[in-house]
Amino acid sequence: MSGLFDLTGRRALITGSSMGIGLALARGLAQHGASVVLNARNAARLHEAAETLRAEGNEVATAAFDVTDNDSVTTAIAQIETQAPLDILINNAGMQHRAPLEDFPEERWDALFSTNVKSAFLVGQAVARPMIARGRGRIVNIASVQSELARPGIAPYTATKGAIRNLTRGMATDWAKHGLQVNAIAPGYFKTPLNQALVDDPAFSEWLAKRTPAGRWGNVEELVGAAVFLSSDAASFVNGHTLFVDGGITASL
């Protein structure tokens, strides 16, 4: 393993990591030497995910807290830091709701922005403070191809992911001088529980295969390389960048 990508001795918190992309990224960072802290609100599912990773020989801790609640975030991050300092944060927690924009419920709009944007701000801020004091740290926000593109029925989600892309730029602009690297990964269409309805729709999968130069859905393991890169010394001068991992969908008309 190249030393540039070696995460041995580093500790990473991954929000929303009891399943899907978050769990895959936690596993990938652990396989590259990091000790990982899994987060979710569902304690039972979190415990199950942690046991799965431990059975594979990984060093895993858990922190069940609500990433949209400032008091919960502040308390949880303080407790995590007393155990060992965090070197890496991956802001992955997110949700989706599909509806025509003209009928989109206000409460779903609020929930989307709270889960997808506010959580990245709150957890990012809480983790950044001790990182700033230490003069180093990596933060990776999970954006989306919807940071760049739109589709019918998900305009509010698109707005949240556009916000994440610009929040990433803002975090980097404010915190790079303190030794932090803040970047984002923008996944394309991946097989995840969040996308299960689309995966199960033959018409959509056929459209996606034609629309994506790679001709297929992505597998969550294919996001690990980007996460390891942005979390490692290999990305020491990469800041405020959004890395699209999308099979070419944003490159092609």
Q: What is the pLDDT of residue 2?
A: 59
Q: Quick one: pLDDT at residue 193?
A: 84
The pTM of the full predicted model, rounded to 2 decimals, is 0.96
Domain 3-245 sits in CATH 3.40.50.720: yes
Cα dihedral across residues 120, 122, 127, 130: positive or negative = positive
Closest CA to 47 of 62, 28, 57: 62
Tell me the per-residue pLDDT of 133-149, one tens digit each, with 9 for 90 and over.
999 999 999 999 999 99
Label the pairing between strands 180-187 and 242-245. parallel
Q: Report how far residue 64's alpha carbon sits from residue 62's, in angstroms, rounded to the nearest whole number.
A: 6
pLDDT of 167-196, one tens digit each? 999 999 999 999 999 999 999 999 998 888
User: Is 189 among the residues known to form the active site?
Assistant: no
Q: Of residues 157, 175, 217, 244, which has the active-site annotation?
A: 157
71-105: pLDDT as tens digits: 999 999 999 999 999 999 999 999 999 999 999 99
